[in-house]
Amino acid sequence: MSGLVEINFDGIVGPSHNYAGLSLGNLAATKNAGETSYPRAAALQGLAKMRHNMALGLAQGFLVPLPRPNGDYLRRMGASGGNSDPALTAAAWSASAMWTANAATVSPAPDTTDGRCHITPANLVTMPHRAQEWRDTARQLALAFADRAHFALHDPVPPSFGDEGAANHMRLCESHDAQGVEVFVYGRTGGAFPARQHEQASRAVARLHGLEPARTVFVEQNPAAIAAGAFHNDVVAVANERVLFTHAEAFADQAAAYEAMRAAFPALEVVEVPSAAVSLEEAIRTYLFNAQLVTLPDGGQALIVPSECRASAAVWSWCEAMLAGNGPIRRVLPVDVRQSMANGGGPACLRLRVVADLATIDPRFLLDAAKADAIEKTIAETWPEQIDPADLGRASLVQTVVGARRALLEALGLHELG
């Protein structure tokens, strides 16, 4: 299909970005619980990553922060006014929607029976602070992808089955505009930590999107990886076109997973990082696999990794050895997203991949230099410099956070989301 390109939609880090440690199984988030956060720096780091990727020649979109604090959530929980509860207050302030890899699962038009791009918002029911997101997320997706001749938007999977979106979904293809094979990764157990992606949720999304069974693969994530802190598959594996970049301990049955993918997509190229070179624990600490694996305009593939990878002797040594070979990944590019990393989200968490014709998308959600400048100016002028978790709920901070988001919507002409 001509005109189709891959667009990465990054979440703009919201002005309520804080470290409340709400995400069980996310080791970075729980480790940094109670620390002071820096929303302005976080948002500027995220924007710098978007500019970095645009400079590489990649198409870039964005989604705006959701309304926070979520007063409706607190009212429905009976926790507003004098009945406040610290945990619920923290949930109502959560800026976790910045990680748009969890916003939805996206199946491009070449893969679907009706030739439209299908999008299912994730229900995120496993974590209370995230389960509140989908309605506002769906509202934003419906605005950005309003052209029903090209996009089909579904309701979330019923909440009996946890769905965490594209963080547990990969696509293999010869090129982004060709028919692909979609890989859904689900979990069963993670020791003390919950497996967030239910197999039935993945299968439901595949059916709703009209995917061909022969071109759809379901594999189980390694329970040991979940127990080690890989709460989503994209913490241990990422795919782009023919390439699967994965840790050797990503899947419950590594050999069977490769076999199933190759049966559906014979051109598969696996780049496996052995445990002896980079331990599972080090891979999770540095988020080597929570990277953006992208195709550059010259056809080569690049891995956009968090700067923590450059600081790890084991990880960087392996990256240098990989680049010295003749493999499909030809560049490794570190970016600074430390504020997001401290809450458990790397470069891949911050983006939702959509393959579509740019002309079919609401242009207000597509980044260019002028919009980037306007976003940067708004963040610099209105985002709080820092937030201590004890500040959550204070009237002065409410006013600042609400006003900052309003200023951003005005700068982008997105008044419908106010």
Q: Residue 26 has what pLDDT? A: 87
Annotated active-site residue in 117, 309, 319, 349: 349
Q: Per-residue pLDDT for 1 more than 60?
A: no
Q: Residue 363 has what pLDDT? A: 98
Q: Residue 192 has what pLDDT? A: 85
Task: Give the range among 69-78, 176-185, 217-226 with minimum mean pLDDT.
Answer: 69-78
Question: What domains sit in the chain, N to C, each tagged with a CATH number?
Answer: 4-417 (3.75.10.20)
Q: Residue 86 has what pLDDT? A: 87
- Residue range 303-349, pLDDT digits in tens: 999 999 999 999 999 999 999 999 999 999 999 999 999 999 999 99
Please say whether the beta carbons of 88 and 74 come within 8 A.
yes
Please say whether the beta carbons of 280 and 225 come within 8 A.
yes
Q: pTM score, two decimals?
A: 0.96
The pLDDT mean for the chain works out to 96
Q: Residue 81 has what pLDDT? A: 65
Q: Could you give the CA distance from residue 339 to residue 322 in angstroms, rounded to a whole number?
A: 28
Annotated active-site residue in 133, 164, 241, 249: 164
Tell me the average pLDDT across 228-250.
97
- For residue 109, the one-letter residue type is A
Annotated active-site residue in 129, 209, 232, 247: 232
Q: Residue 84 has what pLDDT? A: 72
Q: Is 349 a catalytic residue?
A: yes
Q: Per-residue pLDDT for 24 more than 90?
A: no
Q: Per-residue pLDDT for 83 more than 70?
A: no
Please say whether the beta carbons of 360 and 147 come within 8 A.
yes
